[in-house]
Amino acid sequence: MKIVLLDAQTLGDDLDLSPIRELGDLTIYQTTSSNETLERITDADIVITNKVVIDAKMMDASPNLKLICISATGMNNVDLAYAELKNIYVKNVAGYSTKSVVQHTFSMALYLLEKMGYYSQVAGNGEWSHSKLFTDVSKPFFEISGKKWGIIGLGAIGREVAGIATAFGAEVSYYSTSGKNIKNAYPQMTLDRLLQSCDIISIHAPLNDDTYYLLNENNLHELKNGSILLNLGRGGIINETDLAFEMNRREIYVGLDVLEKEPIDMNNPLFKVKNKDQLLITPHIAWTSKEARVKLLDGVANNIKSFIKQ
C-alpha cells in the first residue's frame, strides 16, 4: 500500500510516525498547498489529510485511491458524496481531543477571569517592585463558584465542561444549536436568555447553517457587562467585526481559539480592540495536547489497519 501523508506538520514533529510507516510505503509531506495536492496523491492507495482538501477532480485523477484518512474529527475538507460514489472509504477520528479542549477552555476562562495578563505585566515590568504593598488588588477578579456558566453546544465536550464548571461551584445551563438536544441534567435556555443571564459562556458547537454568525450585532449587546465569552467550537460562529465593535463599546472579555480565517488575517478587526486585556486569542491549539495528538495518530493507524483487514 502506498500511503501519502499530506500535512504532517499539523501533527507536530514530536510524534513517532512508525505506527503508520509500518502499514505501507509512507511518503510524508510537511505541508501541501492546493496546487500540489493532485500530483502528490495520483499514485496513492491511502491518503492522510488534516485540512488539505480532497475534491472530486482529485479523486478522478487518482485511480488507486481506496481510503482517505482524515486526521481530525471534522470531514468538511473531503467531498464525501463523491467519495461514496467512487467507492473510496473516508475515515475520521472522533473523541481524541475532548480532554485537551476542555482543559484549554478552563485555561482561557481562568486567564481572563483572574486578569492574568495584567498581573503578569505588573510583576514583570517592575511596577510591583516599586509598590509599598505585598499584594495588588487594583484589578479585582472573581471566583467561578456561584457564577452562571452557559454552554452553547452540549455535546461530548460541552458536557465535560459542564461537569467541571459544576465542580467549581458554577450554575450551568445550555443552549442547543440544533434544538434537538433537550434531555440533559442542565436547564436549557433560549440563546437570548443565556446571553443575558450568564457570567461565563463557552461555545462548543460545530459550524453549520444553524450556527454560522450565531452571535452577531443583533445579540452580542445582550452579553452582561464584565462577562466572559469563549469560542472553542469553530470560527464563523461569531461575527468577528461585530464582536470587535462590541468589545470597544464596553467591558466584556473574550477568549478565542478558533477564527473564521486561520491563520488570522492581519486585517482582522480584532486587532483593533483597544483594551488588549479584554481579549485572548490562541492559534487553534485547544486540540493539540501531546496526549490528544498521540490518540489521533493511533486512531488514524487503526483506521488503516481495519481497512487493510477487510
The residues that are catalytic are: 234, 262, 284
Name, in order, each residue with C-beta under 8 angstroms of 13's C-beta and a sequence gap of 6 or more: none
Name, in order, each residue with C-beta under 8 angstroms of 279's C-beta and a sequence gap of 6 or more: 247, 253, 254, 255, 256, 270, 273
Asked if 102 contacts 161 with a C-beta cutoff of 8 angstroms, the reply is yes
Q: CB 46: neighbour CB atoms within 10 A? A: 28
| Separation in Å, CA 85 to CA 23, 67, 232, 310 | 26, 13, 34, 19
Which residues share a beta bridge with 27? 4
In 3-state terms, what secondary structure has residue 237?
Answer: coil
Distance between CA 87 and CA 69 in Å, rounded?
A: 14
Q: Cell 498581573, residue?
A: 119
Q: CB 306: neighbour CB atoms within 10 A? A: 12
Backbone angles phi, psi at 69, to 5 degrees: -100, 120
Alpha helices of the chain — where are they, by DSSP H? 18-21, 37-41, 56-60, 80-85, 98-113, 116-124, 156-168, 191-197, 240-249, 290-309
Asked whether the bond before 263 is cis by omega within 30 degrees of 0, the reply is yes
User: What's the one-letter identity of residue 37?
Assistant: T
Full DSSP string of 184-230? SSS-B--HHHHHHH-SEEEE----STTTTT-BSTTTGGGSPTT-EEE
